[in-house]
Chains A and B, each alone.
Chain A
Amino acid sequence: MNNESKNLRIGVFICGCGRNIAATVDIEKLAKMAEKIDDVVFVDTNKYSCSDVGQASIRKAIRENKLNRVVVASCSPKLHLETFKETTASAGVNPYLFEMANIREQCSWVHQHEPAKATQKAFELVEMAVAKARLLEPQIEPRVKIRPSALVIGGGVAGIQASLDLADSGYKVYLVEKSPSIGGIMAVLDKTFPTMDCSICILGPKMSDVQNHPNITLMAYSEVIEIKGYVGNFTAKILRKARYVTDECSACDECTSVCPIAVPREVDGHLSWRKAIYMPFPQAVPSQYLIDIEHCHGVNPIKCGKCREVCREKGADCINYDDRDRIEEIEIGTIIIATGFKPFDASLIPEYGWGRYPNVLTTLEFERLFNASGPTEGNLVRPSDMRQPKSVGFIQCVGSRDVRFNTYCSNFCCLETIKSTLLIKEHWPEIDVTVFYIDIRAFGKGFEQLYKRAREEGVRFIRGRPSEIQEDPDSRNLRIFVEDQNENRFISPEFEMVVLSIGADPPDPKVVPIPLPRGPNGFLLEAHPKLKPVDTASRGIFIAGGVESPKDIKESVTQASAAAVRAAQLMAQGEVKIEPIFAEVDGSRCISCGTCLNRCPYGAITIEEKGVTPAVVNKALCEGCGTCAADCPEDCIIMRHFTDEQILEQVRAALRNKPEQKVICFACTFCSYGGADLAGVSRMQYPTNGRVIRTMCSGRVDPDFVYEAFKLGAGAVALTGCHPQDCHFISGNRFAIKRERRIRRWMEKNNIDQKRFHIEWISAGEGKKFQNMMIKMSRVAQEHARNVKKKADS
């Protein structure tokens, strides 16, 4: 090491974060301890380092003391790394000579009851940061151009809004929708709460705007099957499914009358019929028919061909039996994901009998019954005998707030029900309407007034969650079994129709072909729950609507506009700086073995002639996961800003004092480090002997790091990463887990208890899991420490 020649002048700035850190960690003591660390020439404490005053004092100290390395001990780098990097840069020091020690989320907040131990841990965390800071190298941030075009996935109300906002701002938009028409769930609703607007009347104009907007390319009946690239330079492959009807279709409806095949209509909740050639609903956009190839006789003019005949008779020729699925490739700068949630499948609760009892409906089916373009043209009748019901019961929280299905509250169902009850009462006040609920959550603007109106209209609200619905086989009436909690007695009223207020299921994991972190419930995770609610961990990719959490129309639209602005902000800049964290091959040592080639999921590494020429990294394609560097047999791949030596120094610093008690935890920055931070934010307490080392990906963790930790006597080592299918770097954690056998064999050879190494997949939403793992591993380390002591004593 050539610390002398570098003439290191490290400044350490310790933040009290109000009382957030200072209440647990003794800041003054920590400052005194930090002064004694080698190469540290300046130490200061601050109440709020991130404030303007705090940053100014850091800048001043850097200039006055001619510091050339800066360490800030404060919150998580996931929160303020960028802030302090800019502070450092504005003081004339390269921002990559800055390092952060996380003494809030991973120290003061998780060790609130052990101030002395927490202070010691904070000191060691500062030591680790200083150790890494010594080896930091200045980096130059490359700039990449941002294409002024966006891909919006999902054509529900969120996708429509985001597309229109971006297109109106002058950007090219590709809107991809899986089903034949855009509109999503909003298009099938009858009225919207709290204003009772007609749903399609307010959505319809927006839908046709999308079709007519010069900046929007609408790709309905299409799916995104592949996304590659990075911020500003994505390419996407779109599968455009064959419609068998050309764009010239004027929607004259002649073909449906001759089509011999009838299929239940999906949009109507299967309560009505459609033909194999059809339009999903009258206001569909694009207003163009399509052939459902699964049910059609097989687009074969010899077998049937009636639709083409009639189309030609009308003088048009819009039906093309030779249409085929095709793949289109588009280039975009930003991506907005608005694929929405899935309605809950009510058949999963057999005690409510949906699917068995014809008069038990879900809210979506009820919407269609009420809808003027629905199967009954707006007449409320029950399916069993097509008679208007005299009494309707509503059951809330179906599939929501239930550990057997979805543990969360689905947000919109309470008001959805209240709106439906009001609609019934408005049209037919004589119908008896009863709602069974656990809690009514009417929190939004105008919601409580609507709830009041429903009560005033005579809707009965009974607090109680029914356990069962039984059908009378003769009358097809339904008996609900429930305790009326306010009266504290059992009741079993009979209804002629029951509506289940279903909630939202999380989106299908495969709905977007890129790995993005998900929360514990399966919804996509935002970059920050409060300050970056529409950003994802991947730069240039944003989320809006039900894919993020269950939400109503207004919230979806708000979020969509927010996502559009975030995307437009990137595109308006024209170019952005990207982190210079990428791999470099030391060509003189490379043996051209080709191991790195299959480690790289981005194809960023190439070898011209295997065994002869050294590997070369394309920096524009490299995302910086470091999987190649970890598996390089010659260790000749250098990961900028996360070099082997920097990480090893952190390990050594962490294990300088009482190594046998320590737990070294490698955490990937996108998922597991976020999980550790969430444990902190949620104040989930765990023992103080854990030391988290941040890497870009779990794939970066070279077995050498683990060996080094054990050689230095570490009590336990944990390797954490994203869940296998969720790796932010596509396949990094797959290679991480492949190293487990190698590590375990090495441990066996060196007589190390297998319990002391552990791999755990922790997403950014799983703070509890991180806490549990830390508690478990710290027990292992303590057991090991006892054994070491016993050996020493004997």
Chain B
Amino acid sequence: MQGMSKKRRIVRVGDISEMIREKEDFIMIELEELSRQVLPCLQCTTCASSCPVFQVDSEKNPRRIIYKLSRNDFSNIFNELSLWWCGGCYSCQEHCPQGVALTGIFFKLKNLAFRSGERVPNLIIRNGGELASGFLIRYNDRIKKIRRELGLPEIMQPSLDEIKKILQKSGFFDLLEISRTLDDE
């Protein structure tokens, strides 16, 4: 991520298509690696059977992501609903009889979606503003009230400078900028 952002500072707007191609190659390689990891899968449905999200909504099926990956079918893979509804409970991974690390794969996919730019805007629009205030979700009076009722302590305002530094170092702002450039195009 860092390498990419540094490069971006050197190249100018004319070279952006080349940059995108490079990124697409990288995403392709990563996706192919993931599809290799799921090859032991025999589609036994244990992951879906154990998924608390799938149990509520049959549209959100984690098995389908694994199936698509195993067939090298990457079309719309970042738009699979169960990917974004996955709560990371690791239930599927724990139950999998073939040792496929499903939750890990989902996290990787989410990161890749982020990189590919396909999913960044949503996430940043949802959370970008909050991050600047130092919280992932809005820390408003209602939440304060609930916490008081539950007997939980008040949350201290984190140091904004430090958070900015972290976001800077981890390349978050660069990514934000890239995604905005992509959006503009």
**A interface residues with partner B (beta carbon < 8 Å):** 351, 397, 401-404, 438-439, 463-468, 481-483, 485, 488-490, 492
Contacts and interface: CB of A to CB of B under 8 A. Distances in A.
Given A482-B45, A483-B49, A483-B63, A490 B97 contact: no
Given A351-B95, A465-B97, A481-B55, A490 B42 contact: no
A481 B95 CA distance: 12
A193 B42 CA distance: 27
Interface in B135-153: none
A439 B45 CA distance: 12
B58 interface: yes
Given A397-B97, A483-B61, A488-B61, A464 B42 contact: no
Contacts of B97: 397, 401-404, 465
A203 to B, nearest CB: 34
Given A481-B55, A483-B63, A489-B58, A465 B46 contact: yes
Contacts of B44: 397, 401, 438, 464-465
B99 A465 contact: no
Interface in B25-79: 40, 42-46, 48-50, 54-55, 58, 61, 63
B53 to A, nearest CB: 10
A483 B45 contact: yes
Contacts of B43: 485
Nearest to B92: A467
A401 B42 contact: yes
A490 B48 contact: yes
B61 A492 contact: no
Given A397-B97, A401-B42, A465-B97, A488 B49 contact: no
Given A397-B97, A403-B99, A481-B50, A465 B45 contact: yes
The list of the 8 closest CB pairs from A to B, nearest first, reads A467-B50, A402-B97, A483-B48, A467-B49, A489-B58, A403-B99, A465-B44, A483-B45
Specify the main secondary structure of chain A where it touches its partner.
loop
A467 B46 contact: yes
A532 B97 CA distance: 33
A481 B175 CA distance: 41
Nearest to A481: B49
Contacts of A351: 95
A158 B97 CA distance: 31
B91 interface: yes
A490 B46 contact: no
Given A402-B97, A467-B91, A485 B50 contact: no
B96 to A, nearest CB: 8
Contacts of B50: 467-468, 481
A464 B45 contact: yes
A490 B98 contact: no
B82 to A, nearest CB: 12
A658 to B, nearest CB: 35
Contact of B45 (A463, A468, A492): A463
18 contacts: A401-B44, A402-B97, A402-B98, A403-B40, A403-B98, A403-B99, A438-B44, A465-B46, A465-B49, A466-B49, A468-B50, A483-B54, A483-B61, A483-B63, A485-B63, A490-B55, A490-B58, A492-B55
Contacts of A490: 48-49, 54-55, 58
Contacts of A465: 44-46, 49, 97
Interface residues of B, number: 19
Given A403-B97, A481-B55, A483-B63, A438 B49 contact: no
A485 B66 CA distance: 14
Contacts of A463: 45
Nearest to A463: B45
Contacts of B98: 402-403
A483 B50 CA distance: 8
Nearest to B54: A490
Nearest to B53: A490
Contacts of A439: 42
Contacts of B91: 467
A464 B54 CA distance: 14
Nearest to A437: B44
Nearest to B56: A490
Nearest to A396: B44
Given A403-B97, A403-B98, A403-B99, A482 B49 contact: yes
A482 B44 CA distance: 10
Contacts of A401: 42, 44, 97
Given A482-B49, A483-B49, A438 B61 contact: no
A489 B95 CA distance: 18
Contacts of A468: 49-50
A489 B55 CA distance: 8
Contacts of B95: 351, 467
Contact of A488 (B40, B46, B55, B58): B58
B106 to A, nearest CB: 17
A683 B149 CA distance: 67
A467 B97 CA distance: 10
Given A464-B49, A465-B44, A483-B48, 5 more contacts: A402-B97, A403-B40, A439-B42, A485-B63, A492-B55
B43 to A, nearest CB: 7
A432 B68 CA distance: 35
Indicate the member of A438, A463, A483 with the most B CB atoms within 10 Å. A483
A438 B42 contact: yes
A467 to B, nearest CB: 3
Nearest to B57: A490
A110 B118 CA distance: 44
Contacts of A482: 45, 49
A394 to B, nearest CB: 15
A728 B97 CA distance: 34
Contacts of A489: 58
Indicate the member of B48, B54, B95 with the most A CB atoms within 10 Å. B48
B118 to A, nearest CB: 25
A401 B21 CA distance: 42
A211 B64 CA distance: 59
A467 B48 CA distance: 8
Contacts of B40: 403
Nearest to B48: A483
A483 B54 CA distance: 9
B172 to A, nearest CB: 36
A465 B45 CA distance: 6
Given A467-B50, A492-B55, A485 B99 contact: no
Contacts of B49: 464-468, 481-483, 490
A468 B98 CA distance: 17
Nearest to B50: A467
Nearest to B96: A403
A483 B46 CA distance: 8
Contacts of B58: 488-490
Given A351-B95, A403-B98, A485 B45 contact: yes
A779 B40 CA distance: 28
A679 B12 CA distance: 53
B56 to A, nearest CB: 8
Interface in B88-126: 91, 95, 97-99
B46 to A, nearest CB: 5
A406 to B, nearest CB: 10
A492 B50 CA distance: 11
B112 to A, nearest CB: 25
A506 B155 CA distance: 56
Contacts of A403: 40, 97-99
A492 B55 CA distance: 9
B92 to A, nearest CB: 8
B38 to A, nearest CB: 14
Contacts of A492: 55
Contacts of A464: 44-45, 49
B3 to A, nearest CB: 28
B93 to A, nearest CB: 11
